[in-house]
Chain A
Amino acid sequence: MKLKQLESILGTLEQFSNPKIELEQYPTGPHIASRMLYTAENSFGDVSNKVVADFGCGCGTLGLAAALLGAEHVFGLDIDPQSLDIASVNAEDLELDMNFVQCDIRNLGWRGYTVDTVVMNPPFGTRKKGADMDFLSVALKVASQAVYSLHKTTTRNHVKRAALQDYDASSAEVICELRFDVPQLYKFHKKKEVDIAVDLWRFVPRRN
């Protein structure tokens, strides 16, 4: 599948109708989601025929992108039941198969190394400090092959140090810098739309 085709399919997905600020629910736009999964597949072979988990899947954009690129099985994990409902509908609309689990990523009971690749657009931790790093720490315990994640560019040094030293990643590389556009979703948003610089990271867990 071509990048443009992937992006346009992801553009048809339904997004949060009532986003919850305490969960930092911001939709992963089709532009960024398509590039993230396309790179994971075409530069690293981390998607097709793999077991992929989407942490904090929200409406399922990243997980469904993985399924579109030929992932063998996709897990979608989220704490919010409304998001999982939307994600299920999105999966049905695309006739794709996703395994959903409602859970708190920070308190996840997950056994073994079945999941090859974790993809996620974690809460950036602007509301709950360190939320993105909590997600990363768990992702590096669950994935056997690679973790793809987005983090604010301003936190680059911190993310690298934590991944390598605290979470025992064997590598942590910024693949590219992207603009994450934040639409005016919440009342406290003063501007119509802003975009923030985010890094697309690829982490490799130690077992590999």
Chain B
Amino acid sequence: MRLLTHNMLSSNIKGVTNGFPLRIEVEKVVEKQVDFNADFLKNMFLKLEWMALVGASQTMGYDELPQEAEPSMLDSDHFLKRLHHALLELHLEEGALICPETGLRFLVNKGIPNMLLHEDERLKKRSCDLVGYPIAKGSFT
């Protein structure tokens, strides 16, 4: 799973109002080179949630993106190369995506995130609804 995908996915659990960005739990990251396309990056930049990308890439062990970014930076090849690497070349091969509100986990296997909520996760959600507070971070890890 690329961080491009991560930047689009949000938690779809019923009742969750702020399901983005999903936190990342890393087991295995792989890097795969792809062709560099500056026009694509420039166009995509305007549609990205920058902070989510910066946070996700740090979690994946890549610290080269600036905390803040603005369109004028798109003239810099140096910046575009880093954006290219973070957005398209880093893959979460094994791990999980975690709903920021409920703490429920969506597993990533062989690079494919599974956004279906499994029955046991549903039950956890229900039990945390009953006690009336969100599940604390990391309580199921």
User: Which residue numbers of A lie inside 8 Å of B, CB to CB?
Assistant: 49, 72-73, 75, 79, 81, 84, 88, 97, 99-104, 107-115
Q: Within 8 Å CB of A111, what residues of B?
A: 7-10, 20, 49
Interface stretch, picked from B59-67, B72-80, B111-119, B123-131, is B111-119
Q: Check B9 against A101 for contact (C-beta < 8 Å).
A: yes
Measured between beta carbons, the chain A residues less than 8 angstroms from B39 are 49
Cβ contact within 8 Å between B4 and A73: yes
Can you add 16 more A-B contacts, CB < 8 Å, to A73-B4, A114-B44? A72-B40, A100-B111, A101-B9, A101-B113, A102-B114, A103-B116, A104-B115, A104-B116, A108-B12, A108-B115, A109-B12, A110-B10, A111-B8, A112-B8, A112-B47, A114-B47
CA distance A73 to B89 in the complex (A): 13
**Contacts A108-B12, A111-B10, A111-B20; A75 near B5 (Cβ below 8 A):** yes
The answer for the CA separation of A81 and B107 in the assembled complex, in Å, is 13
Contact of A107 among B1, B2, B8, B12 (CB under 8 A): B12
For A84, list chain B residues within 8 Å (CB).
Answer: 112
Q: Is B11 an interface residue (CB 8 A)?
A: yes
Which residues of chain A are near B37, meaning CB under 8 Å? 72
State the CA gap A137–B44 with chains docked (Å).
24
Please tell me if B19 contacts chain A, counting CB pairs below 8 Å: yes
User: What are 28 A-B pairs at a CB distance below 8 A?
Assistant: A49-B40, A72-B40, A73-B4, A79-B116, A99-B1, A99-B2, A99-B4, A101-B9, A101-B112, A101-B113, A102-B114, A102-B116, A103-B114, A103-B116, A104-B115, A107-B12, A109-B10, A109-B12, A110-B8, A110-B9, A110-B10, A111-B7, A111-B9, A111-B20, A112-B8, A112-B47, A114-B7, A114-B47
CA–CA, A102 to B47, complex, Å?
Answer: 23
A182: shortest Cβ distance to chain B, in Å?
27
Q: What 4 pairs between A and B have smallest CB-CB spacing?
A: A109-B12, A103-B115, A109-B10, A102-B114
Please tell me the size bucket of the interface on B. 20 to 34
Contacts of B116 in A (CB 8 A): 79, 102-104
CB distance from A97 to the nearest CB of B (A): 7
- Give the distance to chain A from B138, nearest Cβ to Cβ, in Å: 21
Which B residues, 14 to 47, have Cβ-Cβ distances below 8 Å to chain A? 19-20, 34, 37, 39-40, 44, 47
Which B residues are in CB contact (< 8 Å) with A102?
A: 112-116
> Which residues does chain B contribute within 8 Å of A110, judged by CB atoms?
8-10
Which residues of chain A are within 8 angstroms of B49 by Cβ–Cβ distance?
111-112
A16→B53 CA distance, assembly (Å)? 36
- Closest residue of chain B to A110 (Cβ to Cβ) is B8
Set of chain A residues within 8 Å of B7, measured between Cβ atoms: 111-112, 114
User: B74 → chain A, closest Cβ, in Å?
Assistant: 17
Please, which residue of chain A has its CB at the minimum distance from the CB of B14? A107
B19 touches A109 (CB 8 A): yes
Of A101, A110, A112, most buried by chain B (CB within 10 Å of CB) is A101
CB neighbours of A100 from chain B (8 A):
111-112
Whole-angstrom distance from the CB of A106 to the nearest CB of chain B? Answer: 10
